[in-house]
């Protein structure tokens, strides 16, 4: 797919604002921030696109 995964925290000057949680079906630390939680990845990048209920 031509993608490179870079952790946002490695770029201190980046004003990072998260938009979604991926691979949430495997989480051990639930997030309570009103962002969508995806079972795996969005369909647009090859995942199921399925959201996990809170």
Residues recorded for the chain = 54
Q: Do 14 and 8 touch, CB atoms closer than 8 A?
A: yes
Domain boundaries, the chain: 16-54
Report pLDDT for 2.
Answer: 76
pLDDT at 9 exceeding the cut of 70: yes
pLDDT attached to residue 1: 63
Query: Could you read off the pLDDT of 15-32 as tens digits, one per residue?
Result: 888 888 889 988 898 888
Q: Select from 35, 38, 43, 41 the least CA-distant residue to 17.
A: 35
Q: 53: pLDDT confidence band, cut at 50, 70 and 90?
A: confident
C-alpha to C-alpha distance for 40 and 22, rounded to whole angstroms: 5
């Amino acid at each position: 797919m031509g993608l490179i995964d870079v952790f946002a925290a490695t770029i201190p000057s980046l004003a990072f604002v998260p938009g979604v949680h991926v691979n949430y079906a495997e989480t051990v630390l639930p997030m309570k921030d009103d962002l969508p939680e995806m079972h795996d990845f969005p369909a647009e990048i090859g995942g199921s696109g399925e959201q996990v209920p809170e």
